[in-house]
Structure 1
């Protein structure tokens, strides 16, 4: 006998559709008294739900239909009609509390509107449809037309901006250049957003500035987002009459898929056995040199070549009705490793399928799929296949049980209402995407590493106390995973708000689990620079607190991050920042002022202290440049030459002992020319990137000096 929490979808005219959870017991044969009771209740609730939906949508021209295997409706009604409120989603960038409801007290033309209440102080948006499967053809449409009404005591942060997303994930963004949000505080205000062709002329006519991703496909638009920002915190905004119109001003027919469907998700796979990650220690109390000592030096971290392992593949029906029997196929390294039958599953029911495999060292593609012949009509098909590399870093999640229900009321990256899909979409998929697309001259393929979801642990409570959390963790076996993060209920607003957006803080912290440091450790404020009080900042680019991202689009890893990931690939995690040891053996600065070499001039070089965080004397280098402005940096001793288990070698270098946290990874260069002082900075990241370029024996660095 298994147990699940079944979500019943019902409609309230004031608040829209709501999910009510009730515990349900079931057996796989479908014959228990609990399941029969559940099915009877469900049939009644679904009947009520659809009766309300049909009555609410009666003013619209619509008909029950199928598009391919998908059941749904063709409609011409405004998609902001209150009967569709359950199909709207929201997002926010700062963990605010947001509620979408149908509001009959704020009507336009006698019809209830869709209402957003938010205590956000930043970018907040709504989107439609929440399954992101519209696939509407707007290539010949004229515009999207709708009406806004708002209450905001703080004032608005500019005009709204609208983002259309195509089925490939490309975006067409339109930034408003009028005062429509301000006007909406007085009365219903019309907005008309150009779509399709002739965008320049339409933008000029309607007051928008367009940013269109290369290759954006107006024939296949999956959803639309409506964004707004506020000067303070908190507001209410209403949406009414939103529809697409053709050049004759007539509404365009659009498709709304039903969510009264099953939804099979291959959520994640556990590797059995899963071996321990690295657990380095620092045996020398004077230096934080990470080493594997004692039994850790002999610990087994990977299966042996040819060792028999297995994967426990989890399959969940994340939909709202019972699924049909279907098939399962798992392919590893291009060969079928397992075929099986998946029985009919009740909503929220999970089954495990065991996939055996003889381990091979290296990176092999794992792909497990259900409904491989695409016969089942589901809420989304995007979660039918789970893919990962067999040597991917395994991440674990420790979650409070109480976060599942609220997260499963919010649609996620996959277009589903599945907690595990949210977890993968918000973390695993985001990290893997950045690994692949953040490319540099020394990393044309990006970071050649990947992550997978190793296991989700559910606990009753995650207290706001580090010691108590550590006691909970002790019994979970987390030492076998390369990284772990905790998901408490107190952060539920952030998890829900960012279910469809990049969660900067979460992925930043998970990257620390993979050994990547905070790049802001190199930064220097004026009060900490006791030499000349000048400021150093690596810039706002990378997600790890700055760094140079080149031509990459945010969110992105900086060059030093990708270098570090590639330098330690093929090894387990547990170390942190050890890639800063990878410094070329010979290093030369080439200094210039206003494009001319700083020839034959005395200079002095200072280094930031890892202990005080200050830049102060005495200088670590003094001397004179040559006729070409060159200044070779002498190597300074280290406590010992040492190579970590991840392949990074500490040796004599200009930085002395490079702190793996990065706290002493900045140098200040000063020169006096004609009675005037000039300065420049260089951080250790540039040295590591030169090493990544293959300049391991000899590297050169150009530094432009500026007047103080």
Structure 2
């Protein structure tokens, strides 16, 4: 962030209700900024900012990249522009919140005295537009995109009294007239068995020929449902409607409103849409109570006119039980809690799930169309809706049933939190699949405990691949690839590649790239389809075969074993291809449909490597075997990787690199570490060190060492290093390097043979379990053959070192 008389900085900390928890009083608050450089010292001034603004992609770029705020525009978007002057100076508060002096040598700035500001931001989310930072000097500070030193708001609080008295709440805003979504029931799906896996394609959706949205220029009615959710009568309220960030209509309700009673306020206007973006047509209802009001946070509700609409159902007992305690919205009302969840869904999960093809997040929005309280026993089925019947007016529905499971325990668990499980399920309602269907738990040698059934030399292969945590839909890749070329290789797991070490390429717990592609691609379509976006794959897929360090594998045979019905069966491969000059073309296999079929939503099922892909993902994984230099090794390819490549712009041709744990010469038998000399940084006793090289998988070396080194006696062509442990494996370093060097070389001349970035994942998914003794696990490391004598393991992260053994095999000599 650059601050100077010519550069104003806008800074906002959102989601304070979740960060601080309900019913809190701020006792201290300070802003901490990390200084990058100071060109000219000066005074830094903070003032509250009074208008919405948009951070855009979070990196420098053209004004047109999504929803941006600039010096001349409050909103600059290809489809809409709202101007302002001098970076929005007309919205600066006249009151100075705080000041701080910044010296030439400053490294960290603490701006104190922000308690009043933060309390108001916490209580009134709708007025939290952050601060404007003005600086009389010239300096740069770390921004929210920094790996370290991000701006930090440090807040301490104390409990405040729970709200009592009248409490007016804008419980929901419904839009009428209503239209029917696509109907997936009846004969909508055409089912077929292809290659031993049965799946359906939604070729005949119901309601396909009916109107789905209002037309631009149509008259629509918005009805705000205001309810007194408090415990005393309210004296009424004044209100204002706004549309597209501009005030549209004002009025008042002057009568007394008893507890539990609702008032409906109507706003009629013309409908307008923005093609491809459902974030640009806000409709807001704001009320100002005439008398006392317990909670301010529920006095305003904003929806997007074009948002997908969901129906919410709740039975009477659930509704009343939920209201016994204050929830994360600040009130006791179920309605306020569900609107808070939707606000977090829109503002956090959607807007901050960012990728090269969605630089400022997801362009879809969701809203509550209606909240209906029903008698106990009404809600049925998996979505808990009346009589288990879908209401096609809604893009999705979800119900809260007091008889389902341990309802009160659930309420206690989620009252003050973002309910990830709820938003996961409601994401299904708007068409997103369980990405975890393409996760593969590793099996044991007898086939138990996982999803792999393929046998190798008489026992089941014990490899697996669960996507790194923790995307909302259970799988896929959440790392923001913005700034990488569209053809850059992005791997299932982290690899030690310098090109991938940038600030935004970090894993999150938001939506994966696949899910955001799905939502963005389907903007403008009503719901009813499910997972059909998985059909969007490149026309040609090329695999580049490489070793674990990225060196090309020039030749070899690749065999592709396809998941069926959620498991890798013990069957012949679906196909095999030859690697030539490091690459192989994957065949496009038939889908059971004579011609490419395009869904109403624009996704085309056509011949592709996975064939007739099941939209739920249960056949969307290949276990890939390579036979190379006498070695048999394994990697994984998932259907979502091809969808992500398509989303990033590789629609004609995609090249995916698959890395295999192989060396480039045949391996020889024998363990050259057996009974050799071992040292460590802790000067461990000889009897402890010898346990690493005694050939006994039941004895364990334990130490607080920072490094371990083995001298294998003389220079040998190294082919493989194996670490032996138990299935838990948690008591070894989490990250480490394996260094090697030869006779006559010094340690500073050592070469990196392999890097382990996540030992626990290695033990879980890259292991070979010993069939005679399943408690014993081996993790192997192979690389380009090289002549070495000394092997040193160096800790990067983690605690103590506990290993059963280290084994070393040599290869044929390198060329």
**In structure 2, distance between residues paired with 1:567 and 1:222:** 43
Q: 1:521 aligns with which of 417, 434, 437?
A: 437
**Separation of aligned partners in 1, 2:556 and 2:430:** 42
Matched with 1:623 is 577
Q: CA deviation at 1:471?
A: 6.2
State the match for 1:437 in structure 2: 352
The answer to whether the 8 A contact 2:379-2:385 is kept is no
CA–CA separation in structure 2 for the residues paired with 1:137 and 1:336? 35
Question: Displacement, 1:616?
Answer: 3.9
1:390 aligns with 2:314: no
Distance in 2 (alpha carbons) for counterparts of 1:543 and 1:295: 29
Tell me the residue number matched to 2:554.
600
Q: Does 1:349 align with 2:261?
A: yes
Please name the residue that 1:232 is paired with. none
Please state which structure has a larger fraction of its residues in helix: 1
- Equivalent-residue separation in structure 1 for 2:377 and 2:586 (angstroms): 50
2:425 is matched with 509
- The answer (yes or no) to whether the contact 1:380–1:414 under 8 Å persists in 2 is no
Matched, 1:705 2:609: no
Distance in 2, matches of 1:136 and 1:451, equals 35
Within the alignment, does 1:530 sit opposite 2:459 as a pair? no
Residue pair 1:608, 1:663 contacting (<8 A) in 2 also: no
Match for residue 283 of structure 1?
190
Distance change (3 Å), C-alpha of 1:222 and 1:651: farther
Shift of 1:554: 5.0
1:678 is displaced (CA, Å) by 1.6
Aligned residues: CA RMSD: 3.3
What residue number does 2:589 align with?
636
Q: How far apart are 1:215 and its partner, in Å? A: 3.4
Alignment gaps of 5+ in structure 2: 1-16, 32-114, 124-146, 480-504, 663-767, 769-815
* Alpha-carbon distance, 1:268 to partner: 0.7
Q: How does 1:454-473 map to 2 (within 5 A)?
A: 454-462=369-377, 466=381, 472-473=387-388
Q: Distance in 1 between matches of 2:229 and 2:566?
A: 52
Kindly report which structure 2 residues correspond to 1:192-591, keeping only aligned pairs within 5 A, or say none: 214-218=150-154, 221=156, 256=160, 259-280=163-184, 281-286=188-193, 288-291=199-202, 293=204, 296-343=207-254, 344-362=256-274, 363=278, 364-372=280-288, 377-462=292-377, 466=381, 472-474=387-389, 478-490=391-403, 491-525=407-441, 526=443, 527=447, 528-532=452-456, 533=461, 534-550=463-479, 554-591=508-545
Query: CA 1:693/1:297 → structure 2, altered by over 3 Å: closer, same or farther?
Result: same
Q: 2:627 and 2:534 mapped to 1: Cα distance?
A: 31
What does the per-residue CA deviation read over 1:375-409, in whole Å, with 9 as the maximum and x for residues that have no partner? 75532222211111111111111211112222122
CA contact (8 A) 1:610 1:659 kept: no
Q: Give the 3-state SS of the residue equivalent to 1:506 in structure 2.
A: helix
Provide the secondary structure at the position in 2 that maps to 1:566: helix
Instruction: Give the total of aligned pairs.
Output: 484
Cα displacement string for residues 81-139 of structure 1 (whole angstroms, at most 9, x for unaligned residues) = xxxxxxxxx99xxxxxxxxxxxxxxxxxxxxxxxxxxxxxxxxxxx998423x122266
1:135 aligns with: 26
Where does 1:686-705 land on structure 2 (aligned, <5 Å)? 686-705=641-660
**Larger deviation, residues 677-686 vs 591-600:** 591-600
Counterparts of 2:203 and 2:625, CA distance in 1: 40
Q: 1:500 to 1:605 in 2, by over 3 A?
A: same
Alpha-carbon contact 1:602-1:622 (below 8 Å) kept: no
Q: Work out the CA distance in 2 between the residues paired with 1:413 and 1:697.
A: 47
In the superposition, the TM-score normalised over structure 1's length comes to 0.63
Matched residues in 2 for 1:416 and 1:537: separation? 39
Normalised to the residue count of structure 2, the TM-score between the two structures is 0.55
Partners of 1:493 and 1:449 in 2: how far apart? 32
Deviations 1:277-332 (A, max 9, x none): 11131134546444353862212211223222212211122223332332111112
CA distance in structure 2 between the aligned counterparts of 1:470 and 1:217, rounded to whole angstroms: 42
Cα 1:405/1:690, change in 2 over 3 Å: same
Aligned-partner Cα distance in 2 for 1:671–1:678: 5
> For the residues of structure 2 that align with 1:384 and 1:468, how far apart are their CA atoms?
30
Question: How far apart, CA to CA, are the structure 1 residues paired with 2:424 and 2:566?
Answer: 25
Distance 1:641 1:267, change over 3 A: same
CA distance in 1, matches of 2:122, 2:239: 27
Residue from 592, 610, 618 that aligns with 1:655: 610
Q: Which residue of 1 aligns with 2:735?
A: none
Q: How do 1:144-155 and structure 2 match up within 5 A?
A: none
Distance 2:179 2:233 in 1: 37
Given the superposition, is the C-alpha separation of residues 658 and 541 from structure 1 closer, same or farther in structure 2, using an over 3 Å criterion? same
Q: Deviations over 1:398-421 (max 9, x none)?
A: 211112222122212221122200
Shift of 1:576: 0.8
